[in-house]
């Protein structure tokens, strides 16, 4: 019995020590070396090269860039000759970024590849290590749907600023509603809602507005819906229609210049009085659109150029006959782009804003004839564009149903109310 107790004691002692050794034994963490990530850009492993990133400067050319990076003139000439059918190297522009992939482990670090980025998405690769070849690629773009809304207090641009939105949306909206809303006469209290998409590269880098898919604009208390719809998938013809499948386009645009940087400085007015002429009535039978010199002037409808000349107070002007009913004229051009007999389509550039003829500032005077008489185009009921094909009407209505529900569900983002000034602040401002 005594021997059994001794043996039990020895077993317990051994077990205790074993546990103690286990508890006291320091934990050893195995150090695993994680390799640094191998960055990829433009389809190249950047770790394999000495990477030189720079921007095209004024006076730079493709040849100058390569020559100052140890590429001889003869090689530059060969590169230009063998890649001219793929990319015109004379098109590289100051301010655009480029990348040189140079040899690693070579004291000269000679370039083997030139990559030029004309915009944030596309890039041109010119390789000249062993053989010379060039190609154009695009970075993967992620499309993200967004919603926006706003209310006009002073201008559309101001409403977009207040809502923290891109000004590009103003230009896109003016294009969509170019035939139905006079964006030069928006009213305080007008509202808009949008469903649109934005473009991103690398998931986080914003590279611009993609397109507006659906819009609602309440102008002068009248609602205007617009829904994007492709009517021909082969020719990729896309247009905007209202909620009843009526085309928003008209035969004529509202203005001969883009909404950007433009304002109406003088409207059609048969009773206009001018101080310079003793305050006598001198009818103004056109609409003046003030714009920076060189702004493109576009034809507001399809037609044939019947006059293109420089004459008296008109200066450089172009006159377009659209049909037996309508004719338009564009005055004071800096330069004309079209000649008599040319057929022009709606939106084609026919000249540029200038100050030729009788004018005190750069603008285009837009004149509009109906049945031989000059009239105010803003007061005309202009003909519609072709309606949607009947066989597409049902698919269109099905397409817009969820978009209209989404638009109607967007709450208008009201501008922040101005803070009231305290009595002390008012005193300080006096």
The answer to whether position 361 is within a domain reads yes
Structure tokens at 313: 């107070």
Assess whether 151 and 220 both reside in one domain: yes
CATH code (residue 274): 2.70.70.10
Give me the long-range contacts of 335-343 (CB less than 8 A, separation at least 24): 336/308, 338/305, 338/308, 339/305, 339/308, 340/305, 340/306, 340/307, 340/308, 341/304, 341/305, 342/304, 342/305, 342/308, 343/302, 343/303, 343/304, 343/305
Assess whether 171 and 237 both reside in one domain: yes
pLDDT-wise least confident of 136-140, 210-214, 247-251, 347-351:
247-251
What are the φ/ψ torsions at residue 315 (nearest 5 degrees)? 65, -150
Confidence of residue 425 (pLDDT cuts 50, 70, 90): very low
pLDDT at 131 over 90: no
b/e map of 415-430 (b: 16 or more CB within 10 Å)?
eeeeeeeeeeeeeeee
Confidence of residue 179 (pLDDT cuts 50, 70, 90): confident
Structure tokens at 155: 């201008």
b/e map of 64-80 (b: 16 or more CB within 10 Å)?
ebbeebebeeebbeebb
The answer to whether position 320 is within a domain reads yes
**Mean pLDDT across the stretch 299-309?**
93
pLDDT at 17 over 80: no
The answer to whether position 19 is within a domain reads no
Assess whether 273 and 375 both reside in one domain: yes
pLDDT at 178 over 90: no
Confidence of residue 262 (pLDDT cuts 50, 70, 90): confident
Which pLDDT belongs to residue 100? 94
Confidence of residue 30 (pLDDT cuts 50, 70, 90): low
Assess whether 173 and 230 both reside in one domain: yes
Assess whether 277 and 375 both reside in one domain: yes
Residue that has been written with the tokens 């590849």 in this structure = 113
DSSP state of 259: S
Write down which residue in 182, 209, 241 finishes a domain: 241
Q: Which residue has the higher pLDDT, 314 or 154?
A: 314
Assess whether 284 and 223 both reside in one domain: no
The answer to whether position 419 is within a domain reads no
**Mean pLDDT across the stretch 253-277?**
74
Which pLDDT belongs to residue 426? 44
Assess whether 113 and 174 both reside in one domain: no
Confidence of residue 52 (pLDDT cuts 50, 70, 90): very high
Cβ proximity of 159 and 170 under 8 Å:
no
Which pLDDT belongs to residue 341? 94
d(CA 148, CA 150): 7
Contacts of 388 (CB under 8 A, 6+ apart): 229, 231, 241, 245, 246, 247, 396
Confidence of residue 196 (pLDDT cuts 50, 70, 90): very high
The answer to whether position 1 is within a domain reads no
**Mean pLDDT across the stretch 165-188?**
85
pTM above 0.75, yes or no: no
pLDDT at 34 over 70: no
Which pLDDT belongs to residue 379? 84
Assess whether 132 and 145 both reside in one domain: no
Assess whether 59 and 159 both reside in one domain: no
Q: How many domains does the chain have?
A: 3
**Mean pLDDT across the stretch 304-324?**
94
Write down which residue in 138, 156, 173 finishes a domain: 138
Confidence of residue 183 (pLDDT cuts 50, 70, 90): confident
The answer to whether position 53 is within a domain reads yes
pLDDT at 323 over 80: yes
- Which of left, alpha, beta for 300 (phi over 0: left; psi -120 to 50: alpha)? alpha
Confidence of residue 380 (pLDDT cuts 50, 70, 90): confident
pLDDT at 279 over 90: no
The answer to whether position 125 is within a domain reads yes
CATH code (residue 118): 3.10.450.350
pLDDT at 401 over 90: yes
d(CA 39, CA 54): 18
Assess whether 147 and 237 both reside in one domain: yes
pLDDT at 5 over 50: yes
Contacts of 405 (CB under 8 A, 6+ apart): none
Which pLDDT belongs to residue 27? 54
Write down which residue in 181, 207, 241 finishes a domain: 241
53: domain range? 40-138
pLDDT at 134 over 70: yes
Residue 184: name the closest of 423, 377, 424, 383 by CA: 377
Which pLDDT belongs to residue 22? 47
Which pLDDT belongs to residue 392? 92
The answer to whether position 34 is within a domain reads no
Assess whether 212 and 274 both reside in one domain: no
Report the share of the chain in percent with pLDDT over 90: 45
Reported as a single tens digit per residue, the pLDDT across 75-106 is 899 999 888 888 888 888 999 999 999 988 77
b/e map of 18-46 (b: 16 or more CB within 10 Å)?
eeeeeeeeeeeeeeeeeeeeeeeeeebee
**Mean pLDDT across the stretch 60-86?**
88
Confidence of residue 360 (pLDDT cuts 50, 70, 90): confident
Assess whether 74 and 49 both reside in one domain: yes
Confidence of residue 4 (pLDDT cuts 50, 70, 90): low
């Amino acid at each position: 019995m005594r021997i059994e107790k001794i043996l039990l004691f020895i077993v317990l002692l051994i077990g205790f020590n074993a546990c103690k050794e286990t508890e006291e034994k320091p934990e050893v963490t195995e150090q695993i070396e994680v390799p640094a990530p191998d960055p990829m850009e433009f389809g190249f492993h950047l770790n394999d090269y000495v990477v030189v990133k720079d921007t095209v400067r004024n006076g730079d050319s493709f040849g100058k860039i390569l020559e100052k990076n140890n590429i001889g003139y003869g090689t530059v000439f060969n590169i230009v000759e063998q890649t001219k059918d793929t990319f015109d190297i004379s098109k590289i522009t100051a301010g655009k970024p480029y990348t040189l992939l140079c040899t690693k482990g070579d004291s000269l670090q000679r370039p083997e590849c030139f990559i030029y980025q004309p915009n944030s998405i596309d890039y041109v690769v010119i390789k000249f290590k062993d053989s010379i070849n060039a190609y154009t690629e695009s970075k993967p773009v992620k499309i993200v749907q967004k919603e926006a809304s706003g209310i006009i207090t002073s201008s559309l641009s101001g409403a977009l600023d207040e809502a923290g939105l891109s000004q590009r949306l103003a230009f896109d909206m003016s294009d969509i509603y170019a035939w139905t809303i006079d964006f030069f006469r928006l009213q305080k209290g007008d509202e808009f809602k949008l469903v649109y998409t934005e473009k991103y590269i690398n998931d986080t880098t914003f590279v611009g507005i993609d397109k507006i898919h659906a819009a609602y604009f309440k102008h002068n208390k009248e609602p205007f819906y617009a829904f994007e719809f492709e009517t021909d998938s082969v020719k990729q013809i896309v247009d905007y229609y209202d909620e009843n499948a009526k085309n928003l386009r008209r035969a004529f645009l509202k203005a001969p210049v883009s909404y950007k940087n433009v304002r109406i400085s003088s409207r059609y007015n048969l009773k206009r009085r001018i101080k310079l002429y003793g305050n006598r009535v001198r009818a103004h039978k056109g609409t003046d659109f003030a714009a920076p010199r060189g702004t493109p002037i576009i034809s507001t409808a399809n037609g044939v150029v019947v006059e293109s000349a420089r004459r008296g107070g008109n200066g450089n002007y172009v006159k377009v006959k659209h049909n037996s009913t309508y004719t338009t004229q564009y005055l004071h051009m800096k330069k004309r782009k079209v000649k008599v007999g040319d057929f022009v389509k709606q939106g084609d550039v026919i000249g540029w804003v200038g100050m030729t003829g009788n004018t005190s500032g750069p603008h285009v005077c837009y004149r509009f004839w109906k049945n031989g008489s000059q009239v105010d185009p803003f007061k005309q009921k202009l003909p519609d564009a072709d309606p949607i094909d009947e066989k597409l009407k049902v698919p269109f209505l099905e397409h817009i149903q969820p978009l209209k529900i989404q638009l109607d569900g967007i709450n208008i983002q009201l501008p922040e109310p101005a803070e009231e000034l305290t009595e002390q602040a008012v005193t300080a401002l006096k």
